[in-house]
């Protein structure tokens, strides 16, 4: 929902563009950080969800750390003023250059995903006269019941280290003098709305931490990753995820020793609902048995529908006509450039302004210039 003043502002601007409601972002962070405090948990914001300067600055000012998945994200987190001792770095394919960036930055920990990676981090850190703090990203073989392209914790996924490798990994770490094992890391997928998944994950973590304990390895940091989903269907009614239930389930199920710190890596849950992609209708054309509303925003601006069959709520902000069905499509030369099929919208005409909601996460960061299209700019509520 946008107020009249905001809508008037939209009318003066060239479309498409991203619009961010910073007061919603702050409200979300208020609730999130209050929950963290309650349990003395730590959070590292997943930069890949949205890396706009203004958004990073606000999140950093709330005291969150940064979760990075590339050397450039590590560099950006450092440049944006995130505390290096709160920066974590995951990824199955860290290049030597990226590892060196992170070593130079003295980050909190590398979330390591394979034995050869640990060996390379050890070599590079030895050469630089450093001691790298590493954590093991574990593949806990849990199905997050989310879209297969955003499931990361099943045994067939490329991410993490599986249980049958634990002995080899421990042997590798024992033979490496320039790395120290400080934690275990788990991230099983994204847009997880079934909180049972986090309960299952907590129980699996207890088991795995116990297994390391039995092998004589003390785990001081447990990182549960991100993945908490948001309500794409009813963003206005449900703008902030149920952080309270999420953390309370984990608090109840996850076993914690006094010497252990618990970490999270939220991305989508923090930034998705504060962003909308604002677009104008270029044409309405008749197809066979359907009407197409053709927008000036396309899959190059917001690729989630084409990439993950994701569905975003779409509002016509300038029509209150009779409801009709539309296929809402973009201008890009791909049939997958489609935001919705058979969607009920108030009668829609050329020039109408539409909002594609819940686009703050994995929206603008994934934008590209396919078809030589311009990148959509961003505007803020403040």
Ligand X SMILES: *Cc1c(COP(=O)(O)O)cnc(C)c1O
CA pair distance 44, 28, nearest whole angstrom: 15
Q: Is 67 in the site for ligand X (CB under 6 A)?
A: yes
Among 140, 266, 298, 363, binds ligand X (CB under 6 A): 266
| CB neighbours of residue 114 within 10 Å | 20
Q: Is 227 in the site for ligand X (CB under 6 A)?
A: yes
Between helix 22-39 and helix 53-61 the angle, nearest 10°, is: 30
In the complex with ligand X, the residue whose CB is nearer, 42 or 268, is: 268
CA pair distance 346, 329, nearest whole angstrom: 16
- Closest separation between CB of residue 45 and ligand X, Å? 9
377 CB-side CA count, 13 A: 6
- Closest separation between CB of residue 188 and ligand X, Å? 10
- Show contacts with ligand X in window 166-195 (CB under 6 A): 187, 190
| CB neighbours of residue 3 within 10 Å | 9
In the complex with ligand X, the residue whose CB is nearer, 58 or 353, is: 58
Q: Is 226 in the site for ligand X (CB under 6 A)?
A: yes
In the complex with ligand X, the residue whose CB is nearer, 202 or 316, is: 202
- Closest separation between CB of residue 310 and ligand X, Å? 12
Q: Is 222 in the site for ligand X (CB under 6 A)?
A: no
Among 49, 58, 77, 328, binds ligand X (CB under 6 A): 49
In the complex with ligand X, the residue whose CB is nearer, 187 or 312, is: 187
- Closest separation between CB of residue 133 and ligand X, Å? 16
Q: Is 42 in the site for ligand X (CB under 6 A)?
A: no
The number of angstroms, rounded, from the C-alpha of 148 to the middle of its chain's C-alpha atoms is 16
| CB neighbours of residue 349 within 10 Å | 14
- Closest separation between CB of residue 366 and ligand X, Å? 12
**E strands in 241-295:** 261-264, 275-287, 290-295
- Closest separation between CB of residue 46 and ligand X, Å? 3
Q: Is 360 in the site for ligand X (CB under 6 A)?
A: no
Please choose, from the candidates 269, 281, 280, the residue with its C-alpha nearest in 3D space to the C-alpha of residue 232. 269
First-to-final CA distance of the chain? 16
In the complex with ligand X, the residue whose CB is nearer, 63 or 331, is: 63
Please choose, from the candidates 315, 234, 310, 313, the residue with its C-alpha nearest in 3D space to the C-alpha of residue 281. 315
CA pair distance 62, 26, nearest whole angstrom: 9
Binding residue count for ligand X, defined by CB under 6 A: 18
The partner residues of 132 in beta bridges, in order of sequence, read 179
Among 24, 25, 36, 46, binds ligand X (CB under 6 A): 46
Please choose, from the candidates 220, 126, 206, 115, the residue with its C-alpha nearest in 3D space to the C-alpha of residue 162. 115
The 127-166 contact track toward ligand X, x by CB under 6 A, reads ----------------------------------------
Q: Is 90 in the site for ligand X (CB under 6 A)?
A: yes
Please choose, from the candidates 229, 247, 239, 307, the residue with its C-alpha nearest in 3D space to the C-alpha of residue 276. 239
Where on the phi/psi map is residue 309: left (φ > 0), alpha (ψ -120 to 50), or beta? left
Which range binds ligand X by CB under 6 A, 121-129, 251-259, 266-274, 342-350?
266-274
Rg (CA), the chain: 22
Q: Is 313 in the site for ligand X (CB under 6 A)?
A: no
CA pair distance 47, 87, nearest whole angstrom: 10
Tell me if residue 100 falls in helix, strand or coil.
Answer: helix
Among 94, 268, 304, 357, binds ligand X (CB under 6 A): 268
Among 136, 184, 209, 269, binds ligand X (CB under 6 A): 269
In the complex with ligand X, the residue whose CB is nearer, 18 or 362, is: 362
- Closest separation between CB of residue 337 and ligand X, Å? 24
The binding site for ligand X (CB under 6 A) comprises 46, 48-49, 67, 69, 90, 187, 190, 225-228, 265-269, 361
């Amino acid at each position: 929902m946008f107020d009249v003043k905001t809508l008037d502002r939209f009318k003066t601007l060239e479309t498409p563009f991203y619009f961010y409601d910073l007061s919603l972002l702050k409200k979300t962070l208020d609730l999130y950080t209050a929950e963290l405090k309650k349990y003395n948990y730590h959070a590292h914001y997943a930069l890949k969800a949205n890396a706009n300067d203004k958004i990073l600055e606000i999140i950093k000012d709330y005291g969150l750390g940064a979760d990075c998945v590339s050397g450039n994200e590590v560099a950006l987190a450092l440049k944006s003023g995130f505390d290096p001792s709160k920066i974590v770095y995951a990824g199955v394919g860290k290049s030597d250059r990226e590892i060196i960036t992170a070593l130079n930055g003295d980050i909190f920990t590398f979330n390591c995903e394979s034995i050869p990676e640990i060996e390379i981090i050890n070599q590079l850190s030895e050469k630089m006269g450093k001691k790298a703090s590493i954590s093991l990203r574990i593949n806990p073989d849990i199905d997050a019941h989310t879209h297969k392209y955003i499931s990361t914790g099943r045994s067939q996924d490329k991410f993490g280290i599986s249980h049958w490798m634990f002995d080899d990994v421990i042997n590798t770490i024992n033979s490496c003098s320039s790395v120290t094992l400080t934690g275990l890391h788990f991230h099983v997928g994204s847009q997880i709305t079934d909180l049972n998944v986090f309960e299952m994950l907590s129980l699996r973590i207890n088991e795995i931490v116990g297994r390391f304990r039995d092998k004589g390895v003390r785990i001081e940091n447990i990182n549960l990753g991100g993945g908490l989903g948001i309500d794409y269907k009813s963003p206005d009614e449900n703008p902030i995820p149920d952080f309270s239930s999420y953390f309370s389930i984990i608090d109840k199920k996850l076993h914690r020793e006094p010497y252990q710190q618990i970490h999270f890596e939220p991305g989508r849950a923090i930034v998705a609902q504060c962003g909308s992609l604002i677009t104008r209708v270029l044409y309405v054309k008749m197809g066979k048995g359907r009407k197409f509303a053709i927008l000036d925003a396309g899959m190059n601006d917001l690729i989630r529908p084409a990439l993950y069959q994701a569905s975003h709520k779409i509002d016509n902000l300038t029509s209150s006509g009779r409801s009709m069905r539309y296929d809402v499509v973009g201008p890009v030369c791909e049939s997958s450039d489609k935001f919705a099929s058979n969607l009920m919208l108030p009668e829609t005409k050329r020039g109408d302004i539409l909002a594609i909601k819940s686009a703050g996460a994995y929206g603008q960061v994934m934008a590209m210039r396919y078809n030589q299209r311009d990148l959509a700019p961003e505007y803020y509520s403040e």
